[in-house]
Amino acid sequence: MHIDVADLQEFYATPLGAVVRRLVMGRLQSRWRKPTSGVMIGLGYTVPYLGAFRSDAVRCGAFMPSRQGALVWPREGLKQSVLIDEEQLPLPDNSVDRMLVVHGLETAERVQPMLREIWRTLTPEGRLMMVVPNRRGIWARTERTPFGFGRPCSRVQLEGMLKDAMFAPIEWSEALYVPPFSRDMLLRSAVAWERIGARLMSGFAGVIIVEAAKELVAPISKPNKGVVLPEIITVPNPAVRLATRQRRDRNGAAGRLPRCPASGPGGGV
């Protein structure tokens, strides 16, 4: 189940949406503190977060899936948003330095083709950052916010998806311990909720944030414990085996010297 881009824009314009942006943005900037001089692409609905990185990147673009819809971004200057097919990104291979995915993975029709497209477009040193609703959190259990739509993930599920698409998770974090209610008291104490939740409610945040690196070589799986590998039997080369048999036939039985022909009149030595 997907959510329309107009609903996403409306949510982030509310006080609760502003709190979400501030809390999630703090986690993103803690990982991507250093500015990038390359290409940065946001996939899904990343407009509330891309603005903080746009001035540092050489090129920046907001890719919005066709089923979700698109809007014009930014309002002023050169437009950098485009409507795309998430399984066929309009980018050449190895062309993106950083890819940010928000409100994208959980609503994707097919997750693995989308992740493989991200893998294709990332440079060998590129980084992928994803913000995904947590299956164990309260935010995924209510449709009052965009995080209640689509398929939430656990950390184990998310890690499996990334490894299947040849990504290596390198950093995990969480955000949105504050309940998803638009009450002034909760909104004012959101930072305190984050600090307390990180210590006492680890694993129950509203979203999981993971940074992953692109793997260039597929890992070789180890055999499970208790699995007996078949014994390797060495078979001699047929040519060597034939030569050995001919030598034995010529020399007689093993350990016996060949018999010299008998000497006689008119013949022999």
Q: 3-state class of 31 per DSSP?
A: helix
Query: What phi-psi label fits residue 166: left (phi over 0), alpha (psi between -120 and 50 degrees) or beta?
Result: left
Q: Are 151 and 109 in contact (CB under 8 A)?
A: no
In a domain, 127, yes or no: yes
Tokens of 257: 């010297």
For the stretch 161-219, pLDDT in tens is 999 999 999 999 999 999 999 899 889 999 999 999 999 988 899 999 999 999 987 55
Question: Please, what is the end-to-end C-alpha distance for the chain in angstroms?
Answer: 102
In a domain, 238, yes or no: no
pLDDT at 27 over 90: yes
For range 243-259, the mean pLDDT = 51
Q: Which domain holds residue 25?
A: 5-214
In a domain, 154, yes or no: yes
pLDDT at 242 over 70: no
pLDDT at 230 over 70: no
For the stretch 80-102, pLDDT in tens is 999 999 999 999 999 999 999 99
Number of structural domains, the chain?
1
Q: Which CATH number goes with the domain that contains 152? A: 3.40.50.150
In a domain, 84, yes or no: yes
Residue 131 burial (10 A CB sphere; 0-12, 13-18, 19+): buried
In a domain, 240, yes or no: no
Distances (CA, A) of 126 to 86, 96, 121, 229: 19, 7, 9, 38
Residue that has been written with the tokens 């890719």 in this structure: 63
Measured distance CA(24)–CA(208) in Å, rounded:
10
Query: Which of the four pLDDT bands, split at 50, 70 and 90, describes residue 249?
Result: low
pLDDT of residue 251: 54
In a domain, 99, yes or no: yes
In a domain, 221, yes or no: no
In a domain, 135, yes or no: yes
